[in-house]
Chains A and B, each alone.
Chain A
Amino acid sequence: MALTNDIIQSRLTEKFGDQLTDWHQPYGMLTFTGPKELNLKVLQFLYDDDELKFRFLTDLQAVHYPDDKGKELAVVYHLHNLVDNVRIRFKVFTDVEKPDVFSATSLFSGANWMERETYDFFGVNFIGHPNLIRVLNVEEMDYFPMRKQYPLEEQTRVDKDDEMFGR
């Protein structure tokens, strides 16, 4: 029997009860949210379960929602069951003041650089990551550029004296 979103949802609800919330299916992809303390447990369950078998981490990144107090940063996991060819999306939210999330590197070797990239741009502190340093930006950088409080430079600004670029 093919694995459907309903089966996945009922399997997960059976295991984790009402801790997993916000079930919806944008463009057919099952999406749900869990508490950040549980992220590794959920990933491990999805990996180990004989029926679910989500053993391929397609993508891992973060999104910044500055207006949601207490859960500004969302870490988004895209998982893929290659046997039944089903994708799901799992989100955990964390406070931007204390952005600690457990690292998935013990489960997926590929999460290593993806988490470094997420740390680099959003400052999510992955607990248990073997080498959490910046990957694309310079080491000396002291802010996390993809957060929304750093808008792109206005093209019309006048406070900069840069004759070479005509402003």
Chain B
Amino acid sequence: MAEHILLPEGSIEKQTTTLNLGPTHPATHGVFQNILEMDGERILKSTSTVGYIHRAFEKIAERRPLYQITPLTDRMNYCSSPINNMGWHITCERLLGLTLPKRVDYLRVIIMELARISDHLICNSIVGVDSGAYTGFLYVMQYRELIYEIYEEICGSRLTTNIGRIGGFERNFTPKAFEKLEKFLKEYPGVLKEFENLFTRNRIFMDRTIGCGPISAERALNYGFTGPNLRAAGVDYDVRVHTPYSSYEDFDFIVPVGSTGDCYDRFLVRNEEMWQSLSIIEQAYQKVQEFKGAEAEVFHADAPAYYLPEKKDVYTKMEALIYHFKIVMGETAIPAGEIYSAVEGANGELGFYLISDGGRTPYRLHFRRPCFIYYQAFEELVKGGMLSDAIITMSSLNLIAGEMDA
């Protein structure tokens, strides 16, 4: 640390400067605050405050039937809400003991991997923005748009998707959706390549990010890091491999790992994960196309007590009418049980801890939000570093305020 002139004894001035980074600051990319004690440009101490957009999801969930909780999960990590939705559906299906047809699993994999790409795309391009390269961000935005159009074709909404239902999807994928998926698969590799060319071996970008905000594997594990941030530190933990869900065991992919856990490694791991996601989507699309005849029309499991029947059946069949009424009014009892189920969210292990006492709503529901848990390491990561490094570290951790505060 640089030599500096000390203030005279008894001075009312402080030796250090207090700087408020956030809660509404363009560089925090979300509503959270960091109170920094600065010695010139260096950070001596940082104190994080979160909770500005806390919406009491866990409390609300205790009053809602299962299917009404899906829209709450949308609003956690809103950059990849389909993964949250699917994670919640999978938790419910495991609790209810439903097994899904393979085609539904593969369609879900397509959606989840698209969501992962859109999330990593935003995170990586924001790292670019914060290190002074705006081009990548604006350029990839239009390809995230393609992903959002696919969501729109499937479920009708774009950001907070509420996609899928317990037991499958709300409707089959239209030919238009597959057409858009094909377009994306055709165009996106070229764009990702170009995006990599802009950054990966860019001298300025490398100088800004290598050695910036590093964390060792031990510290990362101790802090409860998961997802790309943990893998960048060199631990190959991935829920998709360790506890496969939605038939991930049928796919062939690599779990990329870094070594130093700094911003550059996090960037590289995310980039490589996008390539892997693309390959998973291609495999899944191929598997979906292999279904012929009646099998090619399957888009939900046969679970009449939990899956909303088709509207035309509701008008003509008594059972369908009864189930429709019971599901919509939230009068379906959930079997008593206790389950922890996790999916690999775009920024880490997204877990759902659900306790049911046999009532119609969960007795207790806890969301394990990955970025809430790893954000506490931020104070340690930026200590002694420069202010501008802290900003890059923050964006490369992929912090989503909505998920942190739940």
A contact residues vs B (CB 8 Å cutoff):
26-27, 29, 31, 55-59, 61, 63-64, 76, 78, 82, 85, 87, 89, 108-110, 112-114, 117, 121, 134-138, 145-146, 151-152
- Is there an interface contact between B339 and A121, defined as CB atoms closer than 8 Å? no
Contact residues in A for B338 (Cβ distance below 8 Å):
26-27, 31
Point out the residue from A113, A136, A138, A145 that lies within 8 Å of B373, measured CB to CB.
A113
The answer to whether A58 and B349 touch (CB under 8 A), given A85-B243, A136-B50, A137-B51, is: yes
Contact residues in A for B221 (Cβ distance below 8 Å):
55-56, 82
Q: B225's closest neighbor in chain A, by CB?
A: A110
Contact residues in A for B383 (Cβ distance below 8 Å):
none
Point out the residue from B243, B337, B364, B372 that lies within 8 Å of A63, measured CB to CB.
B364
Secondary structure type dominating chain B contacts: mixed
Q: How far is the CA of A56 from the CA of B342 in the complex (A)?
A: 15
Contact residues in A for B405 (Cβ distance below 8 Å):
136
Contact residues in A for B94 (Cβ distance below 8 Å):
27
B43 within 8 A of A: no
- Is there an interface contact between B351 and A59, defined as CB atoms closer than 8 Å? yes
- Is there an interface contact between A58 and B351, defined as CB atoms closer than 8 Å? yes
- Is there an interface contact between B235 and A82, defined as CB atoms closer than 8 Å? yes
- Is there an interface contact between B59 and A59, defined as CB atoms closer than 8 Å? no
- Is there an interface contact between A146 and B50, defined as CB atoms closer than 8 Å? no
Contact residues in A for B223 (Cβ distance below 8 Å):
109-110
- Is there an interface contact between A152 and B60, defined as CB atoms closer than 8 Å? yes
Q: Mark B92-107, 1 if CB is under 8 A from A, else 0.
A: 0011000000000000
- Is there an interface contact between A145 and B59, defined as CB atoms closer than 8 Å? yes
- Is there an interface contact between A85 and B377, defined as CB atoms closer than 8 Å? no
Contact residues in A for B54 (Cβ distance below 8 Å):
136-137
Query: Besides A26-B337, A109-B222, A113-B375, 17 other CB < 8 A contacts?
Result: A26-B339, A61-B366, A63-B363, A76-B353, A109-B219, A110-B222, A110-B223, A110-B374, A110-B376, A113-B376, A114-B224, A117-B372, A121-B58, A136-B54, A136-B406, A137-B51, A138-B51
